[in-house]
Amino acid sequence: MTFCIELLQTVYMPDATMVDGIRSKYHALVNDLDERGRRRWAATEAIAIGRGGIAAVATATGLSDRTVKNGIAELQSKMPLPSGRQRRPGGGRKSLEYHQVNLVPAIEALVEPSERGDPQSPLRWTCKSLTNLQTELGAQGFQVGRTKIAELLRGLGYSLQGNRKTREGKDHPDRDAQFQHIAARVKAYRRGGRPAVSVDTKKKEVLGNKANVGREYRPKGDPLEVDTHDFPDKTLGKAVPYGVYDIAENEAMVSIGVSSDTAEFAVEAIRRWWQELGQERYGLPSRLLITADSGGSNAHRSRLWKLELQQLANETGMTIEVCHYPPGTSKWNKIEHRLFCHITRNWRGVPLETHQVVVNLVSSTKTNAGLEVHCWLDEGAYKTGRKVTDSEMQSVRLKRNAFHGDWNYEIHPHKNRRSG
């Protein structure tokens, strides 16, 4: 089937009634047609009209003469468009990167200069935002907008990224072996029905009407107003949460301190957990396992930590076994991802105005897995800088494990109260 396009595009004044008729049909169909369908429908109408058909259809529909001609050419072609395509391969406006062939390599060199470009890239020490990328690309002679840059970056596999806390520093050669040791000890305690807890101090929180990371639902246009600064309020002080998480029972006790994070404070939190929860649940066990980080108030090198644990062992009659995670692996401690992350999620976007607010928010933390959290306010004044003498250390009945005795050790009571 062939048509004389020259005849169809003959210039003449289209009949107004004809144009209105075509326009009415087009408006009735346009929402149901894709680009290819509109083009081919316009071509069919132009062919049906005959002389001057292209001009009449273009006037009625608003399509360009070229679009109508392309539709006629498609109808004449013996090679129809592949299924699913709107245009022939290579058709349409050429992309910006087609005209500026070095644009994509230039973007890659700016976004990842340490790998693909010059280490002295202009953006090596600058935030790689779309605005900065556009400015630098413009200085290099490229004409490109931020929207197009974002499109090209997505095509290259880039997206907006924050920081992820995954690098733990230099690995200790016995790191994995210590993980396996801790897992084996926890499994043994759980098999024997003995208590095994994970302990740590959560990040200290400044109290007051301060901005807290996160969002919560409120009436539209009515955000909670908070202070413009985060300077500590000496009157309100700070909150020091120390958690004791029962690994087997998915239950925790959190002590909210008002002074300093010391070994004395940490052991007092463990003592409170034992008195309020542990003793009732486990009865009179002979041993307690504590898994903890290697730093902070429960550091593996802390003399005061061991001395305070000795006092707790004497009070309870239990042998206290301690397994520390290797330095730099605090995020592997179970309390981090089974308790603390849920507390943070529960109080997101809520100003921590007072100690009691913190206690209430921690106590109300729940999970679908059945986490239960108890919380209390420890108003004790714990002084820092307390020194433990050699004679005091000699009173600690410390037995170090054959495997990394600095990380794994037992503290025995001076007098066993029970043999269970």
How far is Cα 320 from Cα 404, in angstroms, rounded to an integer?
17
pTM exceeds 0.75 for this model: no
Exposure of 62 by Cβ count < 10 A (0-12 exposed, 13-18 middle, 19+ buried)? exposed
Question: Homologous superfamily of 175-216+225-411 in CATH?
Answer: Ribonuclease H-like superfamily/Ribonuclease H (3.30.420.10)
Residue 146 pLDDT > 70: yes
Cα separations in angstroms, 57 against 29, 76, 108, 404: 14, 18, 46, 87
| Domain map (residue ranges) of the chain | 5-76, 97-155, 175-216+225-411
Tens digits of per-residue pLDDT, 12-49?
566 788 888 888 888 888 888 888 888 888 888 888 88
pLDDT (average), residues 96-102: 74
pLDDT (average), residues 245-270: 96
What is the pLDDT, as a whole number, of residue 348?
Answer: 82
Residue 228 pLDDT > 80: no
Residue 419 pLDDT > 50: no
Cα separations in angstroms, 63 against 41, 42, 67, 85: 11, 8, 6, 19
